[in-house]
Structure 1
Amino acid sequence: MIVHLRADRALFRFSGPDAHKLVNDVVTGHVPHQDEESAAAWALLSPQGKILAEGLSIWREDALWLDTHMSVADDFFKRMRMYRLRAKAEIEDLRESHRVGFSAKAVPGAARNRLGPVELGHHVIAPLSDTTDWSSDERPYNAARIEAGILHQGNDFPANDTFAHDIGLDILEGIDFVKGCYVGQEVVSRMKHRGTARRRPVLVTGIDAPSGSPILAGGREAGTTGQVLDGKAVAIVRLDRVTDPADVTIAEKPVSLALPSWATYQFGETVAEE
């Protein structure tokens, strides 16, 4: 089984009697318990509801292991230590000692990467010494997630710029609407119950332009592309501005738009104002 290194991921370990409560009270998603094998999506939000960090969490070796993009790792570590207060929990920065990987097929110790209706291979964590035979080619993972319509911070959007609904976390089970309060929960709940999510993930193909290029629909900017790989990307797009998916261009060249297979939204949708 080939494991592909995800070199842009930073890994943190939360242990101790209050570790689960600490993480559960701060992030958006369901936090795994010790009898759960699958990885779970999460996001750390600002009080205004913008994503500061996001990634996957798994339970292994009596601890929670969370990964996030390297670009926000220092801020994530700082904030989680602040939220810890007097909790009986230890937070270890494993950037120097461990690595995160992806495997299309199951490997020993890996967690199934299931984001709601999306199956995205297996999530692997290992000590640095056990990764010498891992492939350094990240293309298979990014090709798989782009094909599935999955957006990642750092690759596709910056920190403190995007709402959880914008990347579909409400559909991909990255938001637990049943548990109690967490940072930014009021904004997430309001967007759900008022139906005010107007920006959503969209698949874009036929791109001949760099990542971050504006998408024009009917001559109006509707969004920007995320990471471009083989002419494909996932973009966060204003649905109300795409009334004709055939009339969309990037860098003055026509491109094709399509909705992810898991989408519960449609082009041309208008939503209530905040």
Structure 2
Amino acid sequence: MTATQHYSDFKTTTFVDLPALKKGFVTPLSSFGMMAFSGTDALSFLHRQLTNDLEHLSVNAARLAGYCTPQGRLLATFLIWKSADHILLQLPQDILPGLQKRLKMYVLRDKVNIAEASELAQLGFGGQAAPEALTPWFTDLPSQAYAKVDNEHGSIIRVSDAFGAPRYLWIMPTEKLATIWPALNPKLTAFSDNTWKLAEIDAGIPHITTGTQEKFVAQMVNFELIGGVSFKKGCYPGQEIVARMQHRGKTPRRMLAARIPFAGDVAAGTEVFANDDPNQACGMIVNAEQIETDRIACLVSLRYPMPEGITVHLGSATGAALQFTPLPYPLEDNALS
């Protein structure tokens, strides 16, 4: 069963109602999948492949990490946590099959099993009413970002806040959805998972998708600023490139948040152009979602810093102008972790 089939019976709305979103929402994460790693060498294998330190990952925590080409370009970004029997990696469903196949190629003699965790379902929660709505199942919710609580109802992870309110990811056996969903509906507005993607944009969390694989080094999407890279661990594919950029103390591109007055879809990987050099792209859309009928919220990787007075446009130098908004964290040029 695919991730989409898990949630096909549950009614949601795709219309983004910002007041309702801030009040409280629940969304089935139908476009996010999970890979499950098991076996005696699973942890050491992933530690050697990914950008973050997994050897010190607690069972009570989750962690961001990336997977790079040998040239340091991101093939994927993940949220990672441990269960009783597996290490689980959440990522966009569209790149999961290819990543699973690629990682299996590098298992070699390691005792590692890699499978899609299709027996598990994911619900995302946000807004001021979310904590109270979750208390029938989780009396003690995680109090800080990337803390995790496990009980008989599954695992709940607090992720980065968005729209001024806490957010939670609940992972549970698929068969529990049928009983949990009706109990949530009176308390929270049910949105489709474009709302979760929109909340990730508000939190400044990038997701690599098909259109942006191999386009960015980690620092170009602020990945080290949000805890997705360890500079104290050993080697992984692309480590030399990522470390060199960090220790140079200068990142040629950074990810910014913006709104675009545009009434259509904006694909990840769409180029943007500055008015001072209209013939050459100055950056690329990382993620984008509709926030209002005629407005798009996005994360965009741009040459950094941009000179004052420069305007940036979608698709061409005459396209819709990006209106930049603050990120929820500072852009530090040399934040070692």
TM-score where L is the length of structure 1: 0.83
Q: 2:59, 2:83 within 8 Å by CA — same for their partners in 1?
A: no
Q: 2:110 aligns with which of 87, 101, 110?
A: 87
Distance 1:33 1:178, change over 3 A: closer
Aligned to 1:235: 300
Matched, 1:223 2:283: yes
| Inter-partner Cα distance in structure 1 for 2:208 and 2:231 | 22
Where 1:228 maps in the other structure, the secondary structure is strand
Spell out, residue by residue over 1:18-57, the C-alpha distance to the aligned partner (whole angstroms, 9 max, x if none).
2111111110113276744232111111101111122100
Query: Aligned residue for 2:234?
Result: 180
Secondary structure of the 2:289 match is coil
Q: Give the 3 Å change call, closer, same or farther, for CA 120–193 of structure 1 in structure 2.
A: farther
| Pairwise CA distance, 1:249 | 3.4
2:199 to 123, 132, 144: 144
Question: Per-residue displacement from partner, 1:117-166 (whole Å, max 9, x unpaired)?
Answer: x99622222222223328461133122222222221128x5212221111
Deviations 1:65-114 (A, max 9, x none): 111222221221122222222222322222x3223332224544211225
Match of residue 311 from structure 2: 247
**Distance apart, 1:191 and its partner CA:** 0.8
Aligned-residue CA RMSD (Å): 2.8
What is the distance in 2 between the residues matched to 1:4 and 1:228? 15
| Cα offset, 1:235, TM superposition | 0.8
Separation in structure 2 between the aligned mates of residue 199 and residue 34 of structure 1, nearest angstrom: 29
Quick check: 1:127 aligned with 2:173?
yes
| Stretches of 4+ aligned residues off by more than 6 angstroms | none
Shift in Å, 1:187: 0.8
Cα distance change on mapping 1:191 and 1:76 into 2, 3 Å: same
- Is 1:263 matched with 2:327? no
**Distance change in 2, residues 1:185/1:214 (3 Å):** closer
- 1:200–1:236: 8 Å Cα contact kept in structure 2? yes
Q: CA 1:79 to 1:255, structure 2 compared with 1: closer, same or farther past 3 Å? A: closer
Where 2:302 maps in the other structure, the secondary structure is: strand
Name the CA distance, whole Å, in 2 between partners of 1:30 and 1:124: 23
Q: Contact 1:245/1:256 (CA < 8 Å) preserved in 2?
A: no
Q: Does residue 204 of structure 1 match 2:252?
A: no
Alpha-carbon distance in structure 2 between the residues aligned to 1:193 and 1:138: 38
For residues 120 and 42 of structure 1, the distance between their equivalents in structure 2, rounded to whole angstroms, comes to 21
Give the residue type in structure 1 aligned to 2:322: V
Q: Which residue is 2:91 aligned to?
A: 68
Structural mapping, 1:37-48, within 5 Å: 37-48=60-71
Which residue in the other structure is 1:52 paired with? 75
Distance 1:34 1:256, change over 3 A: closer
* Partner residue in 1 for 2:125: 103
Aligned residue pairs, count: 261
Match of 1:272 in 2: none
> Looking at CA atoms only, which structure, 1 or 2, has the larger radius of gyration?
2
CA contact (8 A) 2:272 2:313 kept: yes
Contact conserved, 1:32 with 1:59, CA < 8 A, in 2? no
Instruction: Name the SS of the counterpart of 2:330 in structure 1.
Output: coil
Question: For residues 113 and 35 of structure 1, do their structure 2 counterparts lie closer, same or farther at Cα, with a shift above 3 Å needed?
Answer: same
Letter in 2 for 1:181: C
- Structure 1 stretch 30-39 or stretch 123-132: which is displaced more? 30-39
- Work out whether residues 256 and 327 of structure 2, in 8 Å CA contact, stay in contact via their aligned partners in 1: yes
Kept after mapping to 1: 8 A contact 2:313/2:319: yes
